[in-house]
Amino acid sequence: MQMRPELLLPEILVFLGALVVLLGGSFLPRRRQWIARAAAALALLGAATAAALAMAGPAQSAFSGTFTVDTATGAARVIAALTTLLVLGVASGEIAGSPRESDTYALLLLATTGVMVLAGSTDLLVLIVGFLLASIPLYGIVGLTGGRAGAEAAMKTYLMGALSGILLMAGVTVLYALAGGTDYALLQEELPAAPAAAVGAGVLGVLAGLLFKAGGVPFHFWVPDAAQGTGATAATFLTTVPKVGALVAVYRLVATVSAGDGSWLLVAALLATASMVLGNLAAYWQTDPRRLLGWSTVAQVGFLLVPVAAAGRSDLALPSLLFYLAAYALTNVAAFAVTATLPEHRELADYRGLARARPGLGLALLVALLGLVGTPPLAVFVGKLTTATAAWDGGHGWLVLVVMLSSVLSLFYYLRWFAPVFARPDQHTAGFPGRGGAAAWPAVTAGVAAVASLVLGVLAGVLWAALEGPVVM
């Protein structure tokens, strides 16, 4: 039996970093909690570096084939680690000096470890471990950083997570009973001969848990509530990082069960459509910028599910998913970092005159919102273009039309945020804080993420070549 724990070096580094931050932070005075933040950043940088180096080698398996290190795992590791690093930039302005600062950093690292495990899982039991490790710290993050409203958001997140976790484990139980094992290779062999209704119940149960982590329909209700009710640090993290591992896990599962039955690709297409349509329609009526971004997240999960509908039928499917995940992570962090810079501005109208008062921040917000729409040459445009092409190759021409219409629809509610940002301020306009103080870190984070989104879109071909490596299902 080959364990090969060295293949899990990125996960080990992040997990050990969480332990160091959790224990070390208990002995640090409040004015020196930045040391815990620095330790967390070093762990994430080390993990991202190790993951990038591993992507250069061939696909390998660890722990008797239950965990796979391939291009999809490597890309998910790098995206999750670097995105969490940006979230630390948001946290530096929001929770610096707070009583639970080091605890929050430790929870962020633990949840990121779970996300990485989700991405590389090729066994249903390991998938459960990744799901729990990514979920349980998330409840704490939501509750710790949001005050009284955060406690309510944490409870909603916990209840939805508990329900979806039960469904996931029930689905794993059914699939284990049908296949006689839990590894994906065995599932691919045995499930085609099993009763279709039982297979459907099992797969839908597992998908329910993963869609909770992704924030997609039908387990999406907690996302806008948590994004609005919790702090900016938790909102940025929960709308970005968990999706990386969850959507890669969804892709692996759908590719496995659809080998003999293409109807699961249609299920993925319908879920994508539902998330796109519902997320965009609900976002249109929002006046709170974080709640608007929460519903936008639901819609973006729909776009990210589009290449899953082409799994196994298009060579573009997986690379387009991985590229879109990277593009979305940068763009979404930029948008939330702007709201973290202006925590008192909780209505879209409060942003009136931002471009004149803080032109750099206004430009970062413009790049982020245009990026979420999918405007060239920003990175999300490349993601939407390639995922739509994958859907076309996979025989879902109607889904391409849904992607186009949903992108146009999203422009209208983002315009409701654009308009006040570039409008002339009046006597009723709320003031904007200066460039110094606690808001400096989130502002810098917004600028870095916005510039990175632009650079990624311009240099998309370079990254695309790295995403076309070997993948094990």
268 lies in some domain = yes
pLDDT of residue 375: 93
- The whole-angstrom separation of Cα 157 and Cα 379 is 30
- The whole-angstrom separation of Cα 306 and Cα 399 is 8
pLDDT of residue 303: 98
141 lies in some domain = yes
Q: Domain residues for 132?
A: 7-466
Asked if residue 233 lies in contact with residue 340, where contact means CB atoms within 8 angstroms, the answer is: yes
- The whole-angstrom separation of Cα 162 and Cα 77 is 25
471 lies in some domain = no
472 lies in some domain = no
349 lies in some domain = yes
Torsion of CA 201, 119, 449, 49, to 10 degrees: 180
pLDDT of residue 61: 92
From the list 128, 144, 132, 3, the residue with the least C-alpha distance to 65 is: 3
pLDDT band at residue 437 under the 50/70/90 scheme: low
- The whole-angstrom separation of Cα 126 and Cα 9 is 17
Lowest average pLDDT, out of 126-130, 160-164, 377-381, 420-424, goes to 420-424
Q: Is residue 221 scored above 80 in pLDDT?
A: yes
- Give the mean pLDDT of 417-436: 74
pLDDT tens, position by position, 156-172: 899 999 999 999 999 99
The proportion of the chain whose per-residue pLDDT surpasses 70, expressed as a percent, equals 95
pLDDT tens, position by position, 126-182: 999 999 999 999 999 998 876 677 788 889 899 999 999 999 999 999 999 999 999
pLDDT tens, position by position, 184-204: 999 999 999 999 999 999 999
pLDDT band at residue 472 under the 50/70/90 scheme: low
Looking at the structure of the chain, the number of domains it has is 1
What one-letter code names the amino acid at 248?
A: V
Element (H, E) at 300: helix 289-305
Angstrom distances, CA of residue 178 to CA of 172, 260, 271 = 10, 15, 25
pLDDT band at residue 27 under the 50/70/90 scheme: confident
Show the 3-state SS of 60-77: EEECCCCEEECHHHHHHH
273 lies in some domain = yes
Give first-to-last CA distance, the chain, whole Å. Answer: 20
pLDDT of residue 148: 73
90 lies in some domain = yes
116 lies in some domain = yes
Lowest average pLDDT, out of 34-48, 224-238, 253-267, 418-432, goes to 418-432
